[in-house]
């Protein structure tokens, strides 16, 4: 690795090399070992290539890209957890390759379940066809218009047969594979309106974008964590700073906040690495300002104030608060979750 990067970052790589060179076994020594730049550039060892791994990763990338596309179409952020993603493909080997990297897909797309199947009927997959206008015009001249008009009347079964045989007869005209472009989707019904479909490389993915209550709560908790971390950053805090975090419920029509903190306690403990407590008293001494938009709802801004502090000498002096001087730091922000407004305060324990 160091030899490969040497032409691009010469000083860093040579510094690393000087530190590790004394641990390189003599069997791997070259004629001149004084510097990484005196060593030969590494040669490609094609025997180490693993075609199976490359194939699996490529197919994993297809699924992830199509899953992201589904989220974008539904304007659902990756921070919002979703219930399931269905991957449909006729090749069992393809599904097995995707299964082998399931953990990466689940994490990357923030979904709970990855479902693999080759049963198109179970998920109401429908086939449709579009005319290749240029090809039809060249081959059928005046008949192209009536062929194009008849194509929407083809059934899903007709199109599947066309895919198998590569030919079909419409309005007495013989069409081949270059005359039609086949598309796949799902039947549009009230039960499937929350499903989003994307297709690539003969792989069809179906994303369930419905906002299930338990997942919506987790998404809200992750948004809350994100806002806390942003407020900490704007205050100049580092992860090792020992601070007390407090939130105040300003508005909660549906009593969502307390249940969120109770149900998602493990998430908060892991992400924030500290306890966050509820405090209903008025908050003052805010130092940061930020306008937050959460789930398309504007939040009330955080404002920056000057606060009168007692210095170590015992005197009073108006100045801005700095944690490094072991003075009290208060950071106040307002976050609006749908009908819920939360005020956060971060204070030092110094």
The pLDDT > 70 percentage for the chain reads: 76
Q: What is the pLDDT of residue 57?
A: 96
**Higher per-residue pLDDT: 54 or 192:** 54
| 67 C-beta neighbours (distance < 10 Å), count | 25
Query: For the residues 252-279, what does the mean pLDDT come to?
Result: 76
Mean pLDDT computed over every residue of the chain: 77
The pLDDT > 90 percentage for the chain reads: 24
pLDDT of residue 60 exceeding 80, the answer is yes
CATH number of 125-186: 3.30.720
**Higher per-residue pLDDT: 311 or 157:** 157
Q: What is the pLDDT of residue 72?
A: 95
Q: Report residue 254's pLDDT band, with 50, 70 and 90 as the boundaries.
A: low
- Say whether pTM exceeds 0.85: no
pLDDT of residue 20 exceeding 60, the answer is yes
pLDDT of residue 113 exceeding 60, the answer is yes
Contact 332, 226 (CB under 8 A): no
Tell me the per-residue pLDDT of 299-322, one tens digit each, with 9 for 90 and over: 333 333 333 222 233 333 333 333
C-alpha 7/C-alpha 35 separation (Å) is 13
Q: Report residue 73's pLDDT band, with 50, 70 and 90 as the boundaries.
A: very high
pLDDT of residue 95 exceeding 80, the answer is yes
């Amino acid at each position: 690795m160091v030899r490969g990067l040497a032409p691009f970052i010469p000083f860093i790589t040579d510094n690393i090399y000087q530190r590790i060179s004394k641990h390189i076994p003599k069997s791997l020594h070259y004629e001149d070992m004084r510097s990484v730049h005196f060593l030969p550039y590494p040669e490609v060892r094609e025997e180490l290539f693993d075609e199976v791994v490359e194939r699996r990763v490529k197919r994993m990338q297809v699924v992830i890209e199509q899953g992201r596309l589904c989220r974008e179409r539904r304007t659902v952020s990756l921070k919002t957890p979703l219930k399931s993603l269905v991957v449909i493909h006729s090749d069992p080997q393809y599904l097995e390759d995707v299964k082998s990297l399931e953990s990466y897909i689940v994490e990357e797309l923030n979904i709970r379940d990855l479902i693999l199947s080759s049963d198109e009927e179970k998920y109401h997959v429908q086939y449709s066809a579009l005319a290749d206008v240029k090809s039809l015009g060249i081959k059928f001249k005046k008949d192209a218009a009536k062929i194009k008009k008849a194509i929407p009347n083809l059934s899903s079964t007709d199109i599947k047969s066309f895919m198998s045989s590569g030919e079909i007869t419409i309005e007495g005209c013989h069409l081949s594979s270059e005359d039609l472009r086949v598309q796949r989707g799902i039947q549009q019904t009230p039960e499937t309106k929350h499903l989003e479909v994307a297709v690539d490389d003969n792989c069809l993915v179906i994303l369930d974008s419905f906002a299930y209550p338990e997942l919506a709560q987790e998404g809200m908790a992750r948004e809350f964590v994100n806002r806390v971390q942003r407020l900490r950053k704007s205050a100049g805090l580092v992860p090792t700073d020992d601070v007390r975090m407090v939130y105040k419920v300003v508005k909660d029509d549906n009593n969502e906040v307390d249940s969120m903190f109770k149900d998602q306690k493990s998430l908060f403990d892991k992400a924030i690495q500290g306890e966050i407590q509820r405090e209903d008293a008025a908050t003052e001494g805010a130092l940061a300002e930020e306008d937050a938009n959460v789930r398309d709802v504007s939040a009330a801004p955080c404002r920056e104030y000057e606060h009168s502090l007692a210095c170590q000498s015992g005197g009073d002096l108006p100045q801005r608060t700095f944690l490094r001087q072991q003075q009290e730091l208060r950071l106040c922000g307002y976050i609006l979750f749908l009908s819920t407004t939360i005020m956060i305060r971060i204070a030092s324990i110094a």
